Amino acid sequence: MEKTKTSFSELIQGEIPVLVDFYADWCGPCKMMAPILQDFAARQSGRVKVVKIDVDRNPRPSQTYQISAVPTIIMFHKGNIVWRKAGVASASELSSDLDRILSE
């Protein structure tokens, strides 16, 4: 997973899909999601970029994408939203959705 100071719009561009985890430090389900995302990022290295965005520290992207619940996971491909889910997702769900996106 990547921590960076790049602008959000720059971050979600490119040929490699970007999975963005909108989370908060105080959020219990977000803490459950963290090891799932770490495992997913390790298994899918080179196929997807995984980025965590703290909604409390980064309100602008949270407002832009109308994040009303955390965790919310959004997958972007070439700057466009191709998948979105609020709540905890399994690694197998993330992997199958990534496979579908890359096959399109």
Q: Which residues are annotated as catalytic?
A: 27, 30
Please give the backbone phi and psi of residue 34, each rounded to the nearest 5 degrees, phi first. -55, -50
Residue 69 and residue 33: Cα distance in Å, rounded?
14
- How many helices (H) and strands (E) the chain has is answered by 4, 4
Residue 14 and residue 89: Cα distance in Å, rounded?
24
Residue 11 and residue 22: Cα distance in Å, rounded?
14
